[in-house]
Chain A
Amino acid sequence: MAKITVNKVVHDLAGVDMKMPLLWYLREQLGFTGTKFGCGVSMCGACTVLIDQDPTRSCVTKLEDVGGAVTTIEGLGAETLHPVQQAWIEKQVPQCGYCQAGQMLLACGLLTENPAPSADEVDTYMSENLCRCGTYNEIRAAVLRAAEIASGGT
């Protein structure tokens, strides 16, 4: 029987349309509304979640193609805030906030791949996700700060 792990909890997928994008399963079946719908066609990144450690656009990932454990923004900092979230607060990144869950999950992906990125590397990686409010300079600063926090910096 098909199952899916979301934020460390295993869910049964019996009777669930396996062609449904993960985004709608998360939002509508599980009630995790932190992951957002911006376009539905993988052009904005607001729907980014982690599948195992990989940032993935859930709007175009069908349930049948989910091959690992899913982490949403709700699962990122359950008891204590994740370094990325800590940095996001420290640098006061969000304005409207709508894109930010996707940005934070994307940042997690970067730091897994590259724990000490340069500013240019941050730009290249994070440019995949759109922010209509223009928080980009704060995002860059927060990713660099998150790298410091994660590596034990104060």
Chain B
Amino acid sequence: MTEFLRGPLTRRAVVKTGALVAGSLIVACRHLTTRLSDVKDDSSERMPSPFAGYLEITPDDKIRFVTTRAESGQGIVAGFAVLLAEELDVDPSSIEVTFAGVNNRLPTLSDAEGSATGGSSSTRRFYQPVRRTAAAAKEMLVSAAAALWSVDVAECKVENGKVVHASSQRNASYGSLATAAALLPTPQNPTLKDAANYKYIGKANRRTDIPAKVTGTAIFGIDVKVEGMLSATIVHCPFVGGDLQSMNDAAARAHPGVKDVVKTPYGVIVIADTFWHASSAAKKLQLQWLATSSASSAAILAAHKQLVETRGTVASSTGDFEATMGTATTKVDAAYQAQYLPHTTLEPQNCTAWLKSDGTCEIWAPTQDPASAAGIAADVLGINVSQVKVNVTLLGGGFGRRLRQDYVAEAVYAAKAVPNQPVKLLWQRTEEFTHDLYRPASYAKMSAGLDAEGKPVAWLCHIASSSIYSWLEEKPSNLIQPETQTQVDSSSVEGCEKSDYGIANFRCEWSQHEPGVPVFWWRSVGHSQNAFFSESFIDECAKAANADPLEYRLKYLTSARQRAVLELARDKSGWATPPPAGTGRGVAIHSCFGSIVAQVVEVSVQTGTIYVDKVTVVVDCGTAVDSFLVHTQMESAIAQALGATLKQEITVNNGKVSQLSLNSCQPITLSEMPEVVTFIVPSTANPGGIGEPGVPPLAPAVANAVFALTGQRLRSLPLRLAPTA
């Protein structure tokens, strides 16, 4: 059910925010359920999000959308613009999208609740509401014009930002009608444009946010300028867990421009007139830390290996695994592992905070969760959250990292130390490596039984890993949902807790291990490593059955939609024709966040190095709002997954992260980027997610391709070929 606001919102919003233009037509976009009924197969609904934002059409013909969602490159802004443009019949790039923040551009504080951006959820949750909002606005504008011209509504239509009455050759711009339209009742069941008539949806449209990013005028959190602003940087504990024992800050304080040095629960903050001074001064701090963690990757691996040897907590179970294994013709066993991963957002963490003389606080942050940002700021200051104003900037990469609000708390601690002066806190890159919250390292023991035909009839997957849920910030943000199975962190087993292959005797178990290394959501979360485990292992089963790995999957996939995706991948990748000499092909298919993605990867090997040359992607994401956004998000996911598959890992030794720089933990470079060809399955179903689903299939597809080419089955990420004689 969608509820629209108008009328009183206009007056209240103008008074409260001053951000809206008097006389505008405003239609708000809210839905009252926290679960989209269309999203049937997504068990990872972590983020209730009732409010998408509102549309404003100003008397001077500006079309604006204020959104509660954040833009970190994934194209949410562009996608919403396409949906609005479709119903309003205007060019998407003419729609100005801005960010709502908290106690800022929204009518009420509660509208910001659940406004986290993540889980590939924004477009698919608000696809219907955003379209209905624009369609309602259009109908109000048409009604206003019809009244103005004393004609029938049915004789009017919209064209390129105008209402047109063809027979009398009259037209009026939306802006000229806005004030009159605002007085009309909001239609509760506006008619959406038919898919047959789409002008923008499904096409490759120009993104609204690109021009500013090309001229250097786009403002990220790091670029925020506030009059009188100071700068700060923070030194965190160099151990993944530890306490500050002692500090000698004399040299740091004596450095030019330094205002203060502040100890906080997060680390030591140096505040100065410029970041150059703050960061230079920070190097002069003499800090003694006592490690409370002695975590080491070798010990973690040993612990994981031990844990999977005894029964874990059952995440899911069907049939009787043990009994079926007893009668299986062929048994397949393998163990896999994946490492901790850093987020490596290119824009380091930062936040600008200002504790004002009236006791209120204003924040500017590149955050994926402004409501939690306000909450944590209020906690640090001991004030009511209604006293915190949050401005959301563009994000130089999110990938889940900016769902955490540690950098906001840190900036607010800095602001407390210099009351009534805004201060921008910015992390150094080394802190990004040593003080990230990582994609968990995991271990998977896999065991399968095949019948005489080679069909997988028994499957056990036992995962050992940390629990992201257990590391969430003390004051949980609205995006935490209570787990239905309280003993299993669903994010640890998502992607391998059920089988797509109709395996009747299936069990997934989980064992928790907490070595003290902080973990968090990373693009596609549990799917990012669990798909590597399950889609590599099904490939091993295919090998044991002497079957073509793609045909094997097709034979046993139970979902017709998934089979259609895989069939298209087979056709488009040329799977049936052997690849050229020196090239190996591998396939993987995975479903998550409401979409299905299959990838066929072509690899080659030179002097022991794996090269991924081409990825053929087939995606069923329901309605593709914009074909270019889908393709580029597939490329983006593949680039990120490839870095994790071949290059990046975070290891710990004696409580310290070993990778301190981009050179030691490098994402892929341009020359390492494969050719990516994307095919979108035509559909008019509601959209599935697109930001994350391209990640999970990549690692297993590469491992499967490497096996096809070299005969080496690599079960540990990042993949490293054994030297051949």
Interface residues of A, Cβ cutoff 8 Å to B:
17, 20-21, 24, 27-28, 31-41, 43-44, 46, 72-74, 76-77, 81, 85, 88-89, 92-101, 104, 123-124, 126-140
- Complex Cα gap A35–B675 (Å): 29
List of 6 A-B pairs having minimum Cβ-Cβ separation, nearest first: A34-B216, A134-B639, A96-B73, A97-B213, A98-B396, A73-B216
Are B670's CB and A139's CB within 8 A?
Answer: yes
Are A134's CB and B635's CB within 8 A?
Answer: yes
Q: In chain A, what residue has the closest Cβ to B218?
A: A97
Q: How far is the CB of A140 from chain B (nearest CB, A)?
A: 7
Are B640's CB and A132's CB within 8 A?
Answer: yes
CB contacts (< 8 Å) of A73 on chain B: these are: 215-216
The total of interchain contacts (Cβ-Cβ below 8 angstroms) comes to 173
Are A100's CB and B347's CB within 8 A?
Answer: no
Are B395's CB and A127's CB within 8 A?
Answer: no
Are B632's CB and A135's CB within 8 A?
Answer: yes
- Complex Cα gap A61–B217 (Å): 23
Interface residues of B in 200-214 (CB under 8 A from A): 204, 206-207, 209-214
B54 at the interface (CB under 8 A from A): no
Q: How far is the CB of A29 from chain B (nearest CB, A)?
A: 8
- Complex Cα gap A134–B644 (Å): 13
Are A33's CB and B394's CB within 8 A?
Answer: no
- Complex Cα gap A147–B71 (Å): 31
Are A130's CB and B345's CB within 8 A?
Answer: no
Question: How many residues from B make CB contacts under 8 Å with A?
Answer: 64
Are A133's CB and B214's CB within 8 A?
Answer: no
Q: In chain B, what residue has the closest Cβ to A96?
A: B73
CB contacts (< 8 Å) of B429 on chain A: these are: 38-41, 43
Instruction: Name A's interface SS.
Output: loop
B223 at the interface (CB under 8 A from A): yes
Interface residues of B, Cβ cutoff 8 Å to A:
71-75, 204, 206-207, 209-220, 222-223, 225, 231, 256, 274-276, 279, 344-348, 394-399, 426, 428-429, 628, 632, 635-640, 661-663, 666-673, 675-676
Q: How far is the CB of B87 from chain A (nearest CB, A)?
A: 23
- Complex Cα gap A72–B216 (Å): 9
A97 and B73 in contact, given A133-B397, A137-B675 (Cβ under 8 angstroms): yes
Are A38's CB and B676's CB within 8 A?
Answer: no
Are A33's CB and B207's CB within 8 A?
Answer: no
A85 and B662 in contact, given A20-B276, A99-B346, A123-B671 (Cβ under 8 angstroms): no
Contact of B670 among A17, A39, A81, A126 (CB under 8 A): A126
Q: How far is the CB of A146 from chain B (nearest CB, A)?
A: 12
Contact of A132 among B75, B219, B344 (CB under 8 A): B344
Are A130's CB and B632's CB within 8 A?
Answer: no
- Complex Cα gap A81–B212 (Å): 12
Q: How far is the CB of B24 from chain A (nearest CB, A)?
A: 29
Are A132's CB and B214's CB within 8 A?
Answer: no
CB contacts (< 8 Å) of B275 on chain A: these are: 24, 27-28, 37
CB contacts (< 8 Å) of B399 on chain A: these are: 132
- Complex Cα gap A126–B209 (Å): 23
CB contacts (< 8 Å) of A37 on chain B: these are: 222, 275, 348, 426
Are B346's CB and A132's CB within 8 A?
Answer: yes
Indicate the member of A85, A97, A138 with the most B CB atoms within 10 Å: A97
